[in-house]
Amino acid sequence: MADILTLTMNPALDIYTSIDRVVPNHKLRCAAAQNHPGGGGINVARVIHRLGGDVLALFTAGGVTGQVLQALLQAEHIPAQAISIAGETRESFSVHEAIGQQDFRFVLPGPTLSADEVHLCLQQLAASASSARYVIASGSLPPGAPDDFYAQVTAQVQARGGRMVLDTSGPALSAALRAGGVYLVKPSLRELRELTELPLNTEADWCAASRALIAQGQTEIVALSLGEDGALLVSATQAWRAQALQVEVASTIGAGDSFLAALVWALSQSQDLAQALRQAMAAGAAALLSSGTALSQPADMARLLPAVRLRAA
């Protein structure tokens, strides 16, 4: 069994293209499309695999799109296990505008899961993650999955001594944190504001809000994504701030997933929090160098790592 298991309840076939300018009411003739296997947990597994980590990607898959998704994972030699569902796996469509240097992302809701399919996912997780030290649940929940699904996953992981890592948003995030037991959570600043219902305008506010989640037993570590302002990593005893690296941006897609992948991989290698944050920052910046959801490459990470600077927050 794998040391790290990723769970993607609502994966997607990611289709990426580019165009000079996006304008309304006209046919927009795009460049040739790139296809990648997508969804938060799948992206995380792809990067961990590149780093040499022992990882298994567990995900739902249905229909023709689900078959294409599995074939793309096989082409990358990603250890993967699909949970068969009746609905068609969704597609996500992203367009990079060259003139404005902006990414436009069109995300569909995904297939609706039946109650039996939701139960099957929990059963398969229990079987596949029996020896995993880390379980990373990343991405949105599909229609049909209850808001407390990730809370149920966390309870299952915690009961057998594993560490639950969570990267999601909205009711699924708040329900899991309220239930407690999450090892590491990766919210954006917007998501942390929604959770706390506070403005959180300063770094001191960010640290305090993160420490409050930890003190309440909701999580042990908060990896706060700040976009162009970098990231903040907070535990009960440490807080580290990293500024974003300045690189030439080909696409912003997948930077957060690459960040999380390198962070958990580093922790699984017994690196301390500061070292893990450095790896994560390098991975997030490396992802910006690639178009679409090609994600970060280890050679780019290694080149960027010496430029990462941390300070105590």
Catalytic residue check, 257:
yes
Provide the CB-side half-sphere exposure for 112 (13 A, CA): 3
Give the span between the Cα atoms of 237 and 127, in whole angstroms. Answer: 35
268, 287, 280: which is closest to 6 by C-alpha?
A: 268
Exactly one of 14, 103, 257, 300 is catalytic; name it: 257
**What is the secondary structure of 103-157 as a DSSP string?**
EEEEE---PPPPHHHHHHHHHHHHHHTTT-SEEEEESPPPTTS-TTHHHHHHHHH
CB atoms within 10 A of CB 58: 27
Strands 90-97, 12-19: pairing kind: parallel
Give the span between the Cα atoms of 285 and 254, in whole angstroms. Answer: 10
Q: Which amino acid makes up residue 85?
A: I
Cα of 261 vs its chain's centroid, Å: 7
Give the span between the Cα atoms of 254 and 96, in whole angstroms. Answer: 13
Q: List residues with catalytic annotation.
A: 257
